[in-house]
Amino acid sequence: MSDDDARFMAEAIALGERARGRTAPNPNVGCVIVADGTIVGRGATAPQGRPHAEAVALDDAGERATGAILYTSLEPCAHASTRGPTCATIIAAAGVAQVVAAIVDPDRRTAGAGLAALRASDVSVETGLMADQAAASLAGYLTRVALGRPRITLKLALSIDGKIALPSGESKWITGEDARAHVHLERAHADMILVGRGTYLADSPKLDVRLPGLEDRSPRRALLTRGEAVDGWEILHSPQDVFALRDVNDLLVEGGSATATAFLAADLIDRIIIYRAPIVVGEGRNSVGYIGLDAIADAHGRWRAAVFAPLGIDRLEAYERLRS
């Protein structure tokens, strides 16, 4: 693989990442088409999942797709749909010479059949380029296919000593403006946001996306509660209800402590994003309660440190659940 290959695939993944949070149940794929070393077509999965990224990119490229190379973050689909021909079919029909797919689609209906169909149509095929980066961007979709539920991210805004509020409940503001803006970016990339009944009653949060140009990206809202439905909110009676969620690749759990505890105790958190403020709170509200841990040794080996970066006056930390 050349540097150019990596550059084009990175562009494809970036296009797909921008679509994350509004393509479910379909994957947020990105695609670029390259002719004579120049990008001649770009595409990402459209909102609600159709058209697919490859179709958008082919439409963008037009006749320039003939003999070109198509880079896509996920294997082109091979399962027929009432909504149109498969991507493998239209790629071959457009005369694309080569397809470079970062990862194979684990969906049983494709799972290599897309690549096989391309090869059968004399399209050259490569896979594996920037597979980790593509899998990271498609984590929501991949989790749903593998585990039958969304990829679930827990967001916490914490002090150095792990507190989310004073004993009074005062939490405005643990973190600074940059961290709070970053939360809105995470929201824009979630299909659904969930809070507990306590947070709903205390803060009546809008959970909207307040970023210029992304206001229309505000995701569906859900409440974790044993109580009654609330207008405009979907209801989960327990964390296990995530297995019944439809059309959600990425679920963002925003708190509070009881909700975080319930999801962690059920081992239903795949990623923890922490906004860590350089303050000591001391006596205050804890971020997490009893999660079933009875020995320190059992706590180890579960989380992989993934991201550490400055974020305004705060720091961004991300941990990913290690599952064997």
Q: Which member of 54, 75, 186, 317 is catalytic?
A: 54
| 289 part of the interface to its own copies, by CB under 8 A | yes
Determine contact, residues 31/256, Cβ cutoff 8 Å: no
Q: How many CA atoms lie within 13 A of 120 on its CB side?
A: 9
| 198 part of the interface to its own copies, by CB under 8 A | no
| 139 part of the interface to its own copies, by CB under 8 A | no
Q: Which of 38, 204, 305, 324 binds its own copies (CB under 8 A)?
A: 305
How many whole angstroms separate alpha carbon 206 and alpha carbon 200? 9
| 166 part of the interface to its own copies, by CB under 8 A | yes
- Taking the complex as a whole, how short is the minimal distance between the CB of residue 64 and its own copies, in angstroms? 46
Determine contact, residues 214/47, Cβ cutoff 8 Å: no
Determine contact, residues 221/234, Cβ cutoff 8 Å: yes
Residue recorded with tokens 């990105």: 30
- Residue 17 a catalytic site member: no
- Taking the complex as a whole, how short is the minimal distance between the CB of residue 260 and its own copies, in angstroms? 9
| 6 part of the interface to its own copies, by CB under 8 A | no
Q: At what angle do helices 53-61 and 3-18 cross, to 10 degrees?
A: 120
| 149 part of the interface to its own copies, by CB under 8 A | no
Give 244 or 295: the residue with its C-beta nearer to its own copies. 295
| 93 part of the interface to its own copies, by CB under 8 A | no
How many of the chain's residues bind its own copies (CB under 8 A)? 49
**Rounded to 5 degrees, what are φ and ψ at 230?**
-125, 135
B/e letters for 140-152, b = 16+ CB within 10 Å, e = fewer, are bbbbbbeeebbbb
Active-site residues, by number, are 54
Interface residues with its own copies (CB under 8 A)? 156, 158-163, 165-166, 170-174, 261, 264-265, 272, 274, 277-283, 286-296, 299-300, 302-305, 308, 310, 313, 315, 317, 319
